[in-house]
Amino acid sequence: MGSLQTVRSIEGDTVDKICYRYFGATGNHTEQVLDTNPHLAAIGPVLPNGTVVILPVQVTAPTQSNFIQLWD
């Protein structure tokens, strides 16, 4: 991972919502944010207002082997 950025959750936030807001997608981002913040899983799906979440600035994209080609 690259550098880290700290953000705080707002009312009704989930890790997915935070990833979508900051990265524009959830996909691989959610897993990497949870790897960086293992304590968030114990809080539950909706984070309390003001929860500190550390975001990796450069999230690793999924490898090509994760994609299925539907046609040639």
Which CATH number does 4-59 carry? Answer: 3.10.350
pLDDT on residue 70: 76
What is the model's pTM? 0.73
pLDDT on residue 71: 79
pLDDT above 60: residue 64 = no
| Contact in structure between 5 and 61 (CB atoms under 8 Å) | no
Least-confidence region, from 1-5, 28-32, 38-42, 60-64: 60-64
pLDDT band at 50 (very low <50, low <70, confident <90, very high): very high
Count how many residues are written for the chain: 72
pLDDT above 70: residue 35 = yes
Give 35's Cβ-side CA count (13 Å radius).
10
pLDDT band at 4 (very low <50, low <70, confident <90, very high): confident
Rounded Cα–Cα distance for residues 24 and 20 (Å):
4
